[in-house]
Structure 1
Amino acid sequence: MHNYSFFDRDLSWLLFNGRILMEAEKGELPVMERVNFLSIFSSNLDEFYRVRMPVILALHKLSKHTTPDKEDVLAEAQSIIERQQQKFGKIFADQLIPLLKESKVQLLFNEPLPVTIQDQVSDYFFSQVMAFLQPVDLSETGKKFFPENNRLYFLVNLGLTKSKERTVLLNIPSNQLPRFYSITTDGQQYIIFLDDIIRHNLHKLFKNEEVSGCYSFKITRDAELDLKDEYHGDLSEQIEKQLLKRDMGMATRFLHQPNIPLRTLHFITEKLGLQGSSIIEGGMYHNLKDLMGLPVNLPGARYSRWQPAINAALIEESSIFDYINKRDCIFHAPYQSYNSILRFFNEAAIDENVQEISVTLYRVASDSRIVNALISAACNGKKVRVMVELKARFDEANNIKWAKKMKAAGVEIIYSDKALKVHAKVALVKRLVNGRVKYAGLLATGNFNESTAAFYTDHILMTANPLLLREMELLFIFLAKKAKTSAGYPVDFKHLLVAQFNLQQRFIALIDREIENVKQGLPASITIKLNNLEERILISKLYEASQAGVKILLIVRSICCIIPGVKGMSENITVRRIVDRYLEHGRIFIFNNNNDPEIFLGSADWMNRNIYRRIEVCFPVYDQNIKAEIMAIIQLQLNDNIQAVSLNGQLQNIEIDKHEPLIQSQREIYQLLQQKIYDKV
């Protein structure tokens, strides 16, 4: 095997988060959209410390003993984060807060409260905030406290002399009260952090003592669940028990405000057992993901809404299943209305011809219309089989809740193997019409979730193609049997690409065909759009194709371990990244095939977890009109010179030359699909 190079996945992801900051910097964006990008950056970084930093810390300790000369990913990650945090602070304090102030919205940021609003703030403190405050004196011998994950706290030093000083830990109850409090007076809006409301009134809380210092902090903890393979009980019960422990995980980050006295820092580090975590000096305020909820309602401060297009031809059909029987159709969320997908499930629930419904659920909406339709279907006497993935990170509790409700309604609930996630997004409806069995199915690149469908770009195929749907039925039969017996068996998928069966092998064969074509002087190219690209066997195969002369165009939203543009290895590979108003989420695979493109859509990123530890489904696009539509969408994204950046050999985000015509792909795709004429059959 060739000695190829790969970029570190965690450093790559951090550079993607830097791309989010680039949006927050853009002066042409509405001010609150820029604020929202800061919120997304902050939320992403919290998740990084919960999910990836424990891995980095463990590998760092291991490499010091085994490969001391190995690149120090921990040091590089901390350096990148520090630079990004400084940039975050400058964008927020130097650009966005002054912009809001120009519109008579004053977000009070590390500054005293104006005298004119102090009485109102104190009234709010006494009537609303004080009820939730729970000070803990850490100076008492034997006193212990366990700060919850990503909750906000103050360390309050009381007493004027070091010898008599005591330290009190005080919660900032942002999990129970809004993070921001708004007061409007004489046409001027003031927005105050909950933190500052408490700071301003500390002397009223500690009436008989002098407050000598008040310092904010938060602790981020490892989020992994410890699922035991040998556990023989109900998986949902095991996960519920583990969820109670998730916020008790190892501390990976202790983030504190500047200028905390060294003695206080040492005291709290030892008192709370934080010696093994990353101790980081941040700003005065933490959890700035809360900026998403900033109470600002200025005209033009947010994107104007793009109304999703509606399939008029489908609306005119009395049955969605009759419509699907006539043709394959595809929906591109959020550009097109998700109501058609809801209708698919709703109609299946009440259609007297429907006998069975099978569906995989990975992340569902908190108030899911789709799950309610499945419950109704079971109540209406239909056999409903739902593969619920309980191990969908941070959605476990929601999925358990819905699984219990469905089970109570008579839905057959299937849980995946403990070591294997089911990440496929497929649904199958079996009908009996005039004595004949007919199938209708959904195959999607994203979750069946009407909430995220409003801002995730995904592609959902509706089809009655028996070649695809028979294989979907075989997959559901396999999953049901494996859940009961833990024993797998081979399934011969000829049309679907299914991880654990044929997905990796088929992708390799498709790349090999392009290599063979280019060697014979035939047209050869590969265009792939993914969220994440990490798996080294597939990356190595792309390097091999590049060396053979195959042109490879990649659109990778976040993690990208392939290094483009390296002579002798990847000079025929280019990588682009698009960040805009919607989250790019669809996975698309296009193989030129001597100018007869073969196109697949699906759920699978090229990550180790997707290839080796999940059930994923990618599906071919056979309809020529849909193929042309996918090609048109991808071409717009490849031509984007406003929201796209290219990635260089260091995977840095490089702005693209803004030449005419200026193309913002999401806007162009929206307009393209608005103009789409639906053929009536």
Structure 2
Amino acid sequence: MNAISESGNNYTFNERYINRELSILDFHLRVLEQAVNPAHPLLERLVFLLIFSRNMDEFFEIRVAGLMEQLALGNESHTPDGLTPKEVLAKISVTAHAAIERQYRILNEEILPNLRKEDICFLKRNELTPEQLAWLKKYFQEQVIPVLTPISLDPAHPFPRLVNKSLNFIITLEGKDAFGRNIDLAVVPAPRSLPRVVRLPDELTGGKDHHVMLSAIIHEHVSDLFPGMTATGCYQFRVTRNADLALNEDVEDLAKALKGELSSRRFGRGVRLEVTENCPKHIYDYLLDEFDLDENDLYKVDGPVNLARLTSDFNKPHLRYAAFTPVIPRALRKTESIFAAMKRQDILLHHPFESFSPVISLLREAARDPKVLAIKQTLYRSGPNSEIVQVLAEAARNGKEVTAVIELRARFDEESNIAVANVLQEAGAVVVYGIVGYKTHAKMIMIVRRENNKLIRYVHLGTGNYHAGNARIYTDYGLLTTDRDLCEDVHRVFQELTGMGKTVKLKKLLHAPFTLHQQLKIFIDNEIANAKAGKAARIIVKVNALTEKQLIDKLYEASQAGVQIDLIIRSICCLRPQLPGLSDNIRVRSIVGRFLEHTRVYYFENGGEPRIYCSSADWMDRNLFNRVEACFPIEDPVLKKRIYQQGLLNYLEDNQQAWVLQPDGQWLQVQAAEGEKIHLAQQVLIEYFS
């Protein structure tokens, strides 16, 4: 029997579901709005503006590129929301053009004028003094011109292959070159080794933070690159390319195949062209033709085309967030051994409010402890110079059996992960690349230690990556445990990842692509049954994204049964809340603040005996069906209460950095009512742990 009510069935596809690509674009718009939020210090608002640029770069490199590829292949199929790739691209174009125009308006009308009031200036050429111009001319001759390569455009010099997202200049010329040729166009790529922002010496600015953009320096001296000729125009441009990697599942050596694909990423098909506003039509038409793009793919900007690199080290602490120091959990403060502390109790880590250092300390202690026999760990995003990788290498050199399951295909970290694999292999560790066709996204460490002639396992499970830098800016949970069943489950998953056996049955851990999706549906069904029986029924889910159609439909079914549902979704949400007869009891909010929300927590009321799980998995098709994910229960009553109050209710009470999804797909920022106490979830946690 179909549990969806008659009124629920009356909704069309695009009324029931929000398009995934448009939803992630909406998230980027919420990030952009932080650049005008006075609650953030000025330099942090600039950071949000730059984050928006990086987000949009990746959006075009992956999401738009994928849609354009579908269009080129003649794909006219409909997504669950009822839109074709062509229709989605048209909607993206309208929204993205308006957003990028707003971004530059914020930069020029708010950020830069307010920075200037603080004596942080990005000077234009007409603002420079004769002394500053002389210094920049010398800088250009000594530091810039030796690494520039002007390329004339003529029959012997076709249009060059330009690297993805690189800053380039197209120059219009008059006169003859050294060989007597009439050259009217040239391209000058700006090497990535050159800083995009140049700070003027203190003696020329009175010690003020005055800077000049590299683009302005090149523009000022561009004629020096073409002796005997006259540069009549100089225009910045930048092409964004398809950066997704396509790997054959039948490859014999994943690392070798990836290395081959990485070089092609820099020169994928063009998907977006950015030019400055003063670029003439005949010039950008020429560039569009070269990159096989049309005017819908053209973005004219009022400022530097490479905003993502508009950064410098400004010594202005009052324009930054107040510093805070992540704390060490009380259970670990007065112990000589992390192993001893873990045997006493489960320990919850809540980053970045609590330090990531206990995870590194656990590995370091294991690397040097003669009782430790083996260490196994998954690595999704890390770096060859990270402390964790160095400690694992040390453990291998110390004779421990170190096994690292490295996911080489973590997007945009592939090259770094190959380097990590090389470091660990050279140290003597066993390195495996997981399962072809399934990304290994689970976050697990298992340490095997001999104690009184018995082998004892110590485990860390997390919602985020083993990346100390991310742990300072992402919110994540980690659990340190010696629970026998959980440790046995982690052991079995590692066997699954490194061996070729059949699917194993686990006692407590839920894992994708095997049991997680089905068990989530069972948990929701249980809430539906409780609601129908008149019992308390509630679901709270905090994830980065919700796109999987079966779970969305199951949540709709639960809403109609009377289950109260709160979804805290950082970015993509394809579910439409508050639709009469379909999702009346579902509320969706998103928190955008100082830290990137990254915890994944699932709460089910369970008739008064709540279930709480933390997980590496979002509620997306790829996480549930095409990745290896770990979802672990929080069973200690104190830790359950803490996650419920701090990680869920705290975020549901935020009335400053929260956005609420409307039935029509629009996001509205929550405003505190008059006289209502201001509640910022992240700040509450900073103050609590401080």
Give the TM-score band, short-chain normalised. Answer: over 0.9
1:193 to 199, 202, 213: 213
Matched, 1:422 2:437: no
Matches within 5 A, 1:196-207: 196-207=216-227
Distance 1:356 1:299, change over 3 A: closer
**Correspondence for 2:249:** 229
Give the percent of matched residue pairs that are identical in Structure 1 and Structure 2.
34
2:175/2:228 contact within 8 Å kept: no
Would the aligned equivalents of 1:361 and 1:387 in 2 still touch at CA under 8 Å?
yes
Contact 2:381-2:467 within 8 A present in 1 as well: yes
- Cα offset for 1:653? 2.4
- Matched position secondary structure for 2:165: coil
Change in Cα spacing, 1:38 to 1:127, as seen in structure 2 (3 Å) is: same
- Contact 1:329/1:462 (8 A) holds in 2: yes
Give 1:165 deviation, angstroms. 6.0
Match of 1:664 in 2: 680
CA contact (8 A) 1:252 1:277 kept: no
Contact 1:155 1:215 in 2 (8 A): yes
Q: Distance in 2 between matches of 1:466 and 1:297?
A: 51
Look up the match of 2:522. 509
8 A contact 1:530–1:606 mirrored in 2: yes
Q: CA deviation at 1:27?
A: 2.4
Partner of 1:594: helix, strand, or coil? helix
Which is further off, 621-630 or 222-231?
222-231
Contact between 2:326 and 2:355, CA under 8 Å: does it hold in 1? yes
Shift of 1:231: 1.9
8 Å contact from structure 2 (residues 343, 481) kept in 1: yes
The Cα of 1:65 is off from its aligned counterpart by: 5.4
Q: What corresponds to 1:411 in structure 2? A: 429
What is aligned with 2:280?
Answer: 261
Contact 2:346–2:480, Cα closer than 8 Å, also in 1? yes
Q: Secondary structure at the match of 1:253?
A: strand
Matches within 5 A, 1:162-561: 166-173=184-191, 175-183=192-200, 184=202, 185-232=205-252, 234-274=253-293, 278-291=297-310, 293-482=311-500, 489-561=502-574
Q: Distance in 2 between matches of 1:17 and 1:388?
A: 29
Q: What is the deviation of 1:259?
A: 3.4
Contact 1:362 1:389 in 2 (8 A): yes
- TM-superposed CA distance for 1:238, in Å, is 1.2
Q: Distance in 2 between matches of 1:113 and 1:211?
A: 21
Q: Structure 2 stretches of 5 or more lacking a match?
A: none
Change (3 A) 1:272 1:203: same
Q: CA deviation at 1:110?
A: 7.9
Structure 1 unaligned spans of 5+: 483-487, 675-681
State the match for 1:650 in structure 2.
664
Query: Kindly tell me: are residues 209 and 142 of structure 1, through their superposed partners in 2, closer, same or farther at Cα, counting changes over 3 Å?
Result: closer
Query: Counterpart in 1 of 2:69?
Result: 58
Cα 1:9–1:461, aligned 2, differ >3 Å: closer, same or farther? same
Aligned with 2:480: secondary structure?
strand
Inter-partner Cα distance in structure 2 for 1:313 and 1:515: 39
| More displaced 10-residue stretch of structure 1: 184-193 or 464-473 | 184-193
CA–CA distance in structure 1, aligned partners of residues 31 and 290 of structure 2: 36
For residues 622-669 of structure 1, give each alpha carbon's deviation from its aligned partner in whole angstroms, at most 9, with x where no partner exists. Answer: 100100110111111110001111111233221213132210100101
1:87 lines up with 2:102 in the alignment: yes
Deviations 1:524-567 (A, max 9, x none): 00000001111111111111111111110010001111111111
Task: Please give the TM-score of this superposition, normalised by the length of structure 2.
Answer: 0.93
- Rounded to whole Å, the distance in 2 between the matches of 1:167 and 1:340 is 58
Question: Alignment partner of 1:552: what SS?
Answer: strand
8 A Cα contact 1:365 1:451, kept in partner: no
* 8 Å contact kept, 2:270–2:291: no
Q: SS of 1:51's equivalent? A: helix
- 3-state secondary structure, aligned to 1:186: coil
1:132 & 1:455 partners in 2: Cα distance? 35
Q: Contact 2:383/2:419 (CA < 8 Å) preserved in 1? A: no
Q: Distance in 2 between matches of 1:365 and 1:306?
A: 25
Moved more, 363-372 or 589-598: 363-372
Residue 25 (structure 2) aligns with = 14
What is the letter of the counterpart of residue 550 of structure 1? Answer: V
Whole-angstrom distance in 2 between the partners of 1:574 and 1:110 = 52
Q: Deviations over 1:356-394 (max 9, x none)?
A: 111111001452111111111111111111111011011
| Alpha carbons 2:288, 2:295 under 8 Å: kept | no
- Hey, what does 1:31 align to over in structure 2? 42
8 Å CA contact 1:251–1:277 kept in 2: the answer is: no
Using structure 1 for the length normalisation, give the TM-score.
0.94
Tell me how many residue pairs correspond in the alignment.
Answer: 665
2 CA distance for matches of 1:85 and 1:60? Answer: 24
Shift in CA distance, 124/643, structure 1 to aligned 2, threshold 3 Å = same
